[in-house]
Amino acid sequence: MSQFDTETAVTPVGDGLWRCRLHSAWDIAGTSNGGYALTPVLRAMRSLVPHPDPITTTTHFLRPAKGDTDSEVRVLVIRQGRTVSTLRGSLWQEGKQRLEVLAAFADLADGAATDNTASGLEIAKPPPSLPPIGECVQRDFLEQGVEPPMLSRVEARMHPDHVPAGTSNKPLIDGWIRFSDGAEPSTLTLPFFGDAMIPSLFPLLGWVGWVPTIELTVQVRRIPAQGWLQVRQETIDLSKGRMIESGTIWDSSGAVVATTRQLALLLA
């Protein structure tokens, strides 16, 4: 099993209840990465329905989750359908709810899921031009203002035009990302990768520290091919310390595998 699989594993302990223990290796400034913290909830959800792929996941982050902390996952099946199942789940630590997840699961390998005249139509945004991985800048060389332990688990490389910090005129990040242990991406890991890059304000503003997420939605579109993922994230609105960031993830074949949208706080 990969580090991500092992460190997001859940154990059933009752009807709609699971136990897990978040690992501090996925922390940023003493707080669990949001995409990582929501994954045990998705694992518990997937165990209850016949559909393997979380095609849309919306998470509200109520309080920071903490690594090296025993946790409880609670899940309720709202509706199990023929092609889509919808579930609600939550993560609890020390008697307090940390996040709330609403997700829909389907089978992206099922070509018969849609039965209409347009089912064969494909429209997908091509990935932007990005230098080869070896010419991009490793994230751990960047001065983000915090030292994320998560970099022991993830390898991320940024477009050289977007670093050093504060030298770009756009709140935009392009880069490559993968698990550092070589584990391949899957539909279950894409919600994590949708929250794993540095904030897109970094190239424009420089040091921004921790940018806590209020709400994150990830829509998984395809089963990813093996290899590096290419990510673009851009702040499309910033007002009164609240930012909206939009993103797209492509796999090694150039196919769109996920889109993201999040509302976050810019803490000075």
Q: What is the pLDDT of residues 125-160, one digit of tens each?
A: 899 999 999 999 987 656 555 567 898 999 999 999
Note down the domain range covering 166. 3-108+131-265
CB atoms within 10 A of CB 219: 18
125 lies in a domain?
no
Q: Are 153 and 140 in contact (CB under 8 A)?
A: no
In a domain, 73, yes or no: yes
Whether residue 143 is contained in a domain is answered as yes
d(CA 61, CA 52): 24
Secondary structure class of 90 (helix, strand, coil)? strand
Q: Is position 121 within any domain?
A: no
CATH number for 213: 2.40.160.210
Q: What is the pLDDT of residue 118?
A: 57
Q: For the chain, what is the domain count? A: 1
For 193, phi then psi, to 5°, come to -65, -25
230: in domain:
yes
Residue 242 is given by DSSP the state E
Q: What percent of the chain has pLDDT over 70?
A: 91
**pTM, full prediction:** 0.93
Average pLDDT score over residue span 193-202: 92
Strand ranges (DSSP E) for the chain?
11-14, 17-22, 27-28, 31-32, 53-61, 69-80, 85-93, 96-106, 137-138, 154-158, 172-179, 213-220, 229-239, 242-250, 256-265
pLDDT given for residue 267 in this prediction: 80
In a domain, 223, yes or no: yes
Q: Is 210 part of a structural domain of the chain? A: yes
Whether the upstream peptide bond of residue 185 has omega within 30° of 0, thus cis, is no
Selected residue with higher pLDDT from 118 and 23: 23
| Euclidean distance between CA atoms 61 and 90, whole angstroms | 10
Cα separation, 54 vs 51, whole angstroms? 8
What is the spatial distance between Cα 159 and Cα 172, in angstroms, rounded to a whole number? 10
CA 155 vs CA 1, 137, 150, 194: distances in Å:
18, 11, 9, 14
Residue 124 domain flag? no
pLDDT (mean) for 114-133: 79
183: helix, coil or strand?
coil
Cα–Cα nearest to 99, from 132, 129, 67, 58: 58
